[in-house]
Chain A
Amino acid sequence: MTTIETLPSYLDQTPEVAARFARLVERPVALEVKGLTKVFDSSRGAVTALKDLSFSVHKREFTCVIGPSGCGKSTLVRILAGLETATSGEVLVGGKSVSGPGPDRGMVFQGYTLFPWLSVKENVMFGPKVSGTSSVAAEREARQWIDLVGLSKFENAYPYQLSGGMKQRVAIARALANQPQVLFMDEPFGALDAQTRCEMQNYLLEIWKNVDITIVFITHDLDEAVFLSDRILVLDANPGRFREMVEVPVSRPRSNDQVFEPLFGATRKHIEHLIHPPGREQKEAPVMRIAKPDPDVI
């Protein structure tokens, strides 16, 4: 049995995995972030959310961004999607500098953000239609994407009739219908219960496998990050800075059982220590004792 002490190092990549990473690095860069800095001017003075952040993501790579709260994960993804402007620095998608939102970058939000007045099909058709596709073509495309996320039976349902997981699947289909180069996902499964979340993670990997897409996935859930990613971008908080780009040594295709693999545990532990350095927990305030000491409750 493997215990925490005997965990291998997360750097112990099998030759297969190492070869895969070598090939990934050869791929063209889909997203490049150069010296990104974001300063918010608040009434109490300027707050630096992101400081001089640089990294790049290769084509068809699955990257998670993780970090302690306040590390600017959401700010980062909003800048990448073009919903906010950076104070300085540059974002390149497919080699082209971007400013402002555009259909080349899809976004899936935590709060679903489906248009409640549109049916599932019409929601998915939204992107193609605003970019000028005829409704017939848009509808045909939409059907394919709805098929892909397994909601064909619900194509005429309104969002209020769907469960959280179904809504998020529609949101993914809607973002994919524009055929973006990069898909940003901002804690998309954060509002779902544990079982649905697990299901959705498998779904997402399946979609990623079948669709030509590069995914940047924001999360605060360590297991989710390790389970999904090729590489994990770990950020420091206050201000948000680059900490480490961790290569996940867990082999693909992923399955739920891999959570119990030593390399999975090792990677998880490494990232956890990056986010919450060991030794800091002891600094927590002592808790008032109200119950009598109980030897079985320790």
Chain B
Amino acid sequence: MSRPRIFSDWFRIRKDLSPGRKSLLTVFSFCLPAALWCIVSYVPFIWHPDVKITVAASREGSSTVLTAGDHLPKDYFPKYVNDVREENASEREGSKRKNQKLLRQISPLVIEAGWLDERDAQNDKEIYLFWRDIATGKRELPALNDENMEIVRKNWEILASSSPVFEYKSLPEEPLLKLVPQGKPANPSYLPAPDEVIETGWSLFTRPPRNDGATMGERYRSSLGIIFRGFLWACLIGVPIGILCGTYSFFSTLLEPFTDFFRYMPAPTFSTLLVAVLAAGDSPKIALVLIGTLPHMILMISKTTRLLDPALLEAAQTLGAKPRQMIGSVVLPGIAPNLYNDLRILLGWAWTWLVIAELIGVKSGLTEVIETQGRFRNFDQVFPVIILIGITGFVTDQILAWFHGVLFPWAGTSGRISRAVASFVTWPIRTVASAANERIMQDELAREARRKLRPSTESP
């Protein structure tokens, strides 16, 4: 036997790959997009059409206020730098107020270096001391380029001559030099790098929320609550109706045409109506998930029910089953595995309705974060939430898919593990049932034996 070669047999028409290769490719199917994202984010010459400002400077006569962290188009950045340089070289008027603002230019860098807390961004006393430390070489700030280091030293000469510590009164009137803008190549703000997303995502879930809003955990629970309550209601109404429609022509003709029509009216168009009827709170949101899911559910389940092999119903009839018995003992068990899969697909759709539902009335849940942070272009906060929804849906579906094998071992699709779980779960029931059966059977045999004995003893 020759060993299988690594490079052969990857592409064979309608032939399965080996399990090892399959799992490898499954891992790849997640790794490839992630790798693509990393390459675009971390390899500088791939895309990076923007410059992310690390040192910002205000310009005289310009109304655009740029701060550290802002993005500028790559080809505009040099003009921004030149403007500030020209301003530094020109004759200009100074003031204490302007100089105070100028000193704060350094604070984002100092915060970035971890020397200053974010809340002290305008603590001029601290900032003043940092200017001193950097100028005298006591602290090193590599983020500053040589040009700006020069400016820091020049400014400090002026500042030191008036006061060693910050005092607004003793700030010089003469204009200080502005730090020249610095920046690094960056992708547009709508494509944050993976590490940013992970970091922000982590802090989103671990840090308490900024202003008395809900924590991410609470938001997550509220979203899950809405989707599951909406879906549960849809199931309670939709499953029986769907089965009735698939079983009786009467119900199908009575209910399906309107359902089909209703399906084409997009659920979000009812949002204002739902809020008017059910008021604010969770109810209109649950109702939106419900009316978004229900028509599809009815039609899908009625179709699934109709797909049940009619020969099974005929067989049941020839075995003496009455019409009512046929629903309970043939239709329901017969469609159960397909019904279960339908519900799995519909639960996926319900997530779509959830996102819309959370925007109506009072915004809430995970979608509120997406909405509000997206408006501020804080996409590093948006992506973790989107990914969280994706992971939740995917994991739920995988678990439910696996349970299919546990619930319906007779479908012949269960793996070894789910079969084992199924037999483990049903073991107590089976044991009790078989023991009871045994007991009843013995009793019955004994009774029969007695019945047989009696006539022979009575009649001599």
Contact = CB atoms under 8 A, between A and B. Distances in A.
A82 interface: yes
Given A113-B311, A130-B325, A178 B409 contact: no
Interface string B321-333: 1100100011001
Contacts of B322: 130
B336 to A, nearest CB: 7
Interface string A121-150: 000001100110001110110000000000
B275 to A, nearest CB: 44
A115 B444 contact: no
B108 interface: no
Interface residues of A, number: 33
A73 interface: no
B314 A113 contact: yes
Contacts of A131: 320
A190 B421 CA distance: 38
Interface string A93-120: 0000000011101110101010111110
A175 interface: yes
A90 to B, nearest CB: 19
A81 interface: yes
B318 A105 contact: yes
A139 B336 CA distance: 24
B412 A130 contact: no
A131 B329 CA distance: 13
Contact of B318 (A83, A135, A161): A83
A117 B315 CA distance: 14
Given A137-B444, A160-B412, A111 B320 contact: no
B410 interface: yes
A158 interface: yes
Given A126-B329, A131-B320, 10 more contacts: A101-B317, A109-B315, A113-B314, A113-B315, A115-B333, A115-B334, A127-B319, A130-B319, A140-B441, A158-B409
17 contacts: A82-B317, A101-B314, A102-B318, A106-B318, A109-B315, A113-B309, A113-B311, A115-B334, A117-B410, A119-B410, A130-B316, A130-B319, A135-B437, A136-B437, A161-B412, A175-B318, A175-B319
10 A-B pairs closest in CB distance: A103-B320, A160-B412, A107-B318, A113-B315, A127-B319, A101-B317, A158-B410, A117-B333, A130-B321, A113-B311
Interface of B: 309, 311-312, 314-322, 325, 329-330, 333-334, 336, 408-412, 437, 440-441, 444
